[in-house]
Structure 1
Amino acid sequence: MSLHAASGARARGGTRALRITLCALLLTTLGGCGLLGATEASSFSDGTLEKPRIKVALLPASDLVPLRLAQETGLFRAEGLEVEAVEAASGQASMTQMIGGDVDIAFSSYMPFFIAQSKHVADIRVVADSSSASPKSNAVVTVPASPVKTIQDLAGKRIAITDMNTASHLLTMSVMADHGVDTSGVQWVTLPFPNIAKALANGQVDAAFLTEPFLTQAALVAGAVPVVDISTGATQDFPLTGFAALGRFVTENPKTLAAFQRALSKAVRDSADRSKVEPLLVRHAKIDPETAALTNLPTYGARVDARRLQRVPDLLLRTGVLKTALEAGPMLAPQAG
């Protein structure tokens, strides 16, 4: 070998050794060293997050499987982010906590976000999607002893919902309108989801809107049967739930928000595995393993699409909750990726 060639070989060997050393350092500090562009690599190496610890208001709902998965499998930590869950009684309460500054991000059905924005209560931005209606995951149900047998029988009956102008209320109105059923005489009875099965069983209400896992619970404990699937007609694949933050938080914390969105996107992919999902339902939705195994899951998502989300304010306008049209596009926060 010539002196020139030997010198080149030593240089290449030194370069290779340097690369190995750098990779070892990365393994120590970041937990991995992969090919450039590897999707599982940590995403915060370009700078510290503005707010590495955030609070998110949550409910005991199957819609939150991706977020719980991101918490428990370290997807948020891989982004340099710690997410503290703060329990809320309802989507409205969750949003109120966010507006009051108690949490950074709120989880809710989309309706309260748009209603608050239309009333100029706060500058609300939708930061991530959570779930959409899938077949058999949301339904109006009844029990065998009820006078309700078909959707036509819902006119003038007592129907349980969680609150007025919520998804439970407006989606029920929409599906009744699709079938030509008059909603003007309905007696809307507001109850928390966990109490509805008992109300059906003791005849306090004639029918009820239920989402999973309460839908499966009601079938097991009260013999509830579906009257109509919500994921039909004008509300087929309807955007149900998502995450929102105040405009100020979105503007001041772009890296933090992007880290939150990236972790959720990865968790949505992983939530296709029911063996990972069902234990989360038992722990966080407070249901037994049998109910978890039978639960029909919604369609999970993370990235928000303005055209798809526009269906929510359009429904609010069509049902008279909004008096003027509201565009979803300006309410969307920047989406990572």
Structure 2
Amino acid sequence: MIVHTQHRRRSTRTLLAGAALTFTVLLTGCGSGAGAEPDAAKELEGGDPSAPEVSEVKLAGIKGPGTIPLQVAADNGTIEDLTISPFFVDNSGIAVTSVISGDAAAANTSYFGVIDAINEGLDLVVIAEGWASTPKTSSLEALPASGIEGLEDLEGKTVNVISLTSSHAIKLRDAMLAEDLDPDAVDWVELPYGEVAAALEQGTVDASSAVGPTLAAVRGLGSAPVFDYGDEPYEGMAESGWVASRSFVEKNPNTIAAIQCEIFAAQGALVEDRAFFEEQFTAFLGAPPAVAAQEVMLDYQTENRESEIQRNADIYFSSGRLTEEFDFSEFVIPAPESC
């Protein structure tokens, strides 16, 4: 089941109610509602990536610079008995839903929605880290007419994030609270990246998150950065991860190991070869080569860094959106020792 976000202006209260309803539906369909036991992910045995139980898998994610490795893995995978078919969704919430529903074997998503899902009783585990927060790769952008120059100008304004549980949304809340500002005084809305430039130009939103070609497009309109999501104090923290359901991992440990190997290999290939990255950036996102040449590459990862993944839970707690501290290490599966 893929739930498509309705692209219209909605209040934070409405968005949160919709998110709660989504989780309620998922819990009803998934049975007990009991969360994973402590250390459940660590108890799962590692698989043999050369002998996947399932030969064809679908992997999901938001189409953007972060999921270039997904297409690379699909096109250039080296594990003979594994075929990866990508499909793309509007936000992290839908990515998580695709895993729970069984539409995807794994999905790339921000960690905050994963924490919510686990706390609601859904047995999700992180199988691979995606990329780390990287300066100058994603920012909150505003046009001069908005009057927004810094975080202090956001109260009373309409601000777009791709999802209320995206890293961008939580970082903004955390950063505003650190400056004694009120994030609840912001009118938060959700729009996919493809609608951001038009929304800013038409004044539907006052400021918006932007990445990759979307960032280049809004800069072309004359926007200026209000907040850099990849800069300090967030630089280096795990920004996204690949998640799967614990039940799928238990039934298909070899398939998960193969997916881990293919994703980490694809991410490593981009890091090691700038020309290859630019080629893939242009092909995947339809951006002109000149835009690809100027793109700051994301800090793609080739291993799971538990301490940096844990920073998401710590920031989520400090943002006020998470009521209890959360130990993420219990839900991270180690990568295979050898691919």
In 2, Cα distance between the equivalents of 1:286 and 1:179? 39
What is the CA distance between 1:197 and its match in structure 2? 1.5
Among candidates 48, 55, 58, match of residue 55 of structure 1: 58
Equivalent residue number for residue 94 of structure 2:
93
What is the CA distance between 1:334 and its match in structure 2? 3.2
Equivalent residue number for residue 262 of structure 2:
263
> Could you tell me whether the CA contact under 8 Å between 1:56 and 1:85 is conserved in 2?
yes
Aligned runs of 1:68-147 on 2, under 5 Å? 68-77=71-80, 80-120=81-121, 122-147=122-147
In 1, Cα distance between the equivalents of 2:104 and 2:263? 18
SS in 1 for 2:144: coil
**Structure 1 vs Structure 2 CA RMSD:** 2.1
What is the CA distance between 1:168 and its match in structure 2? 2.4
Equivalent residue number for residue 300 of structure 1:
300
Over 3 Å counting, the alpha-carbon distance change for 1:263 and 1:288 in structure 2 is: same
> Could you tell me whether the CA contact under 8 Å between 2:111 and 2:312 is conserved in 1?
yes
> Could you tell me whether the CA contact under 8 Å between 1:76 and 1:83 is conserved in 2?
no
What is the CA distance between 1:45 and its match in structure 2? 9.1
Structure 2 residue 92 is the aligned partner of structure 1 residue 66: no
Over 3 Å counting, the alpha-carbon distance change for 1:83 and 1:213 in structure 2 is: same
SS in 2 for 1:83: strand
- The one-letter code matched in structure 2 to 1:185 is A
What is the CA distance between 1:182 and its match in structure 2? 3.0
In 2, Cα distance between the equivalents of 1:159 and 1:235? 20
What is the CA distance between 1:262 and its match in structure 2? 1.9
> Could you tell me whether the CA contact under 8 Å between 2:133 and 2:231 is conserved in 1?
no
What is the CA distance between 1:311 and its match in structure 2? 1.0
> Could you tell me whether the CA contact under 8 Å between 1:138 and 1:212 is conserved in 2?
yes
- The one-letter code matched in structure 1 to 2:289 is P
SS in 1 for 2:233: helix
In 1, Cα distance between the equivalents of 2:98 and 2:275? 33
What is the CA distance between 1:281 and its match in structure 2? 2.3
In 2, Cα distance between the equivalents of 1:301 and 1:293? 21
> Could you tell me whether the CA contact under 8 Å between 1:196 and 1:208 is conserved in 2?
yes
Over 3 Å counting, the alpha-carbon distance change for 1:216 and 1:178 in structure 2 is: farther
Equivalent residue number for residue 196 of structure 1:
196
- The one-letter code matched in structure 2 to 1:163 is S
In 1, Cα distance between the equivalents of 2:240 and 2:49? 31
Over 3 Å counting, the alpha-carbon distance change for 1:184 and 1:124 in structure 2 is: same
In 2, Cα distance between the equivalents of 1:284 and 1:94? 19
Listed as ranges, the gaps of 5+ residues in structure 2 are 1-46
Bigger relative CO (Cα 8 Å, ≥ 6 apart) = 2
> Could you tell me whether the CA contact under 8 Å between 2:108 and 2:240 is conserved in 1?
yes
Structure 2 residue 171 is the aligned partner of structure 1 residue 171: yes
- The one-letter code matched in structure 2 to 1:240 is E
SS in 1 for 2:240: strand
In 2, Cα distance between the equivalents of 1:304 and 1:330? 13
Equivalent residue number for residue 232 of structure 1:
231
Number of equivalences: 290
- Higher-Rg structure is 1
Taking only the aligned residue pairs, the percentage that are identical comes to 25
The CA deviation string for residues 188-222 of structure 1, in whole angstroms up to 9 with x for no partner, is: 122211111221122222222222332222212x2
SS in 1 for 2:208: strand
SS in 2 for 1:217: helix
SS in 2 for 1:181: coil
The CA deviation string for residues 122-165 of structure 1, in whole angstroms up to 9 with x for no partner, is: 20010001111111112111112221123322233221112323
The CA deviation string for residues 69-125 of structure 1, in whole angstroms up to 9 with x for no partner, is: 222223344xx32111123232211211111111211111122111100111x2001
User: Normalised by the size of structure 1, how large is the TM-score?
Assistant: 0.79
Listed as ranges, the gaps of 5+ residues in structure 1 are 1-43
> Could you tell me whether the CA contact under 8 Å between 1:161 and 1:189 is conserved in 2?
yes
- The one-letter code matched in structure 2 to 1:226 is P
Equivalent residue number for residue 210 of structure 1:
210
The CA deviation string for residues 264-283 of structure 1, in whole angstroms up to 9 with x for no partner, is: 22222210222212232233
